[in-house]
Amino acid sequence: MTAANFGDLAEDATPADLAAGVVNLVLQAIGTMTVLACQCCDSKTVVLTGSMTTLPQAVTNFQLFEKLYGIHYIIPENATFATAIGAGLYSLQKSRRPDCAMTENWSLYHPEIPEFLRRLAETPPMARLRQVGRNCGCEYTYFPRFAGWVPYSRFDHSVGVGLIVWHFTGDLRQSAAGLLHDAATPAFAHVVDFLHGDHLHQESTEARTAELIETSPELQALLKEYGLTTEDVADYHRYPIADNDSPQLSADRLEYTLGDLRCYGFAGADALRVFYEDLTVWRDESGRPELAFRTRETACAFTQASLQTARVYVADEDRFAMQALADLLRDAVNRQVLTEDDLYRTESLSSKAGGRSGQRPPVAPVPALLPGGAERGKAGERTLVPDSRQAAVH
Quick one: pLDDT at residue 205?
Answer: 66
| Contact predicate 120/219, CB 8 Å | yes
Pairing of strands 72-74, 45-47: parallel
Domains of the chain, first to last: 4-82 (no CATH), 100-350 (1.10.3210.10)
pLDDT tens digits in sequence order for the chain, 394 residues long: 456 666 667 777 888 888 888 888 888 899 999 999 998 888 899 999 988 888 888 898 999 999 999 999 999 888 888 888 877 765 555 444 444 467 889 999 999 999 999 999 999 999 999 999 998 888 888 888 888 788 899 999 999 999 999 999 999 999 999 999 999 999 998 898 888 887 666 666 667 899 999 999 999 999 999 999 999 999 999 999 999 998 899 999 999 999 999 999 999 999 999 999 999 999 999 999 999 999 999 999 999 999 999 999 889 999 899 999 999 999 999 999 888 888 888 887 554 444 333 333 333 333 344 333 333 232 333 222 333 333 333 3
Please check whether residue 138 is in contact with residue 146, taking contact to mean a CB–CB distance below 8 angstroms. yes
Cα distance between residue 144 and residue 25, in whole Å: 34
pLDDT of residue 92: 55
Beta bridge partners of 369: 375
**Rounded distance, CA 68 to CA 29, Å?**
15
* pLDDT given for residue 349 in this prediction: 54
Looking at residue 140, its pLDDT comes to 84
Contact 48, 71 (CB under 8 A): no
- The angle formed by the CA atoms of residues 30, 32 and 33, to the nearest 5 degrees, is 65
3-state secondary structure the chain: CCCHHHHCCCCCCCHHHHHHHHHHHHHHHHHHHHHHHHHHHCCCEEECCCHHHHCHHHHHHHHHHHHHHCCEEECCCCHHHHHHHHHHHHHHHHHCCCCCCHHHHHHHHCCCCCHHHHHHHCCHHHHHHHHCECCCCHHHCCCHHHCCCCCCEHHHHHHHHHHHHHHHHCCHHHHHHHHHCCCCCCCCCCHHHHHCCCCCCCCHHHCCHHHHHHHCHHHHHHHHHCCCCHHHHCCHHHCCCCCCCCCCECHHHHHHHHHHHHHCCCCCHHHHHHHHHCEEEEECCCCCEEEEECCHHHHHHHHHHHHHHHHHHCCHHHHHHHHHHHHHHHHHHHCCCCCCHHHHCCHHHHCCCCCCCCCCCCCCCCCCECCCCCECCCCCCCCCCCCCCCCCCC
The pLDDT, as a whole number, for residue 69 is: 92
Give the whole-angstrom CA distance, residue 350 versus residue 331.
14
pLDDT of residue 228: 97
Burial bucket for residue 44 (CB in 10 Å: 0-12, 13-18, 19+): exposed
The pLDDT, as a whole number, for residue 385 is 30
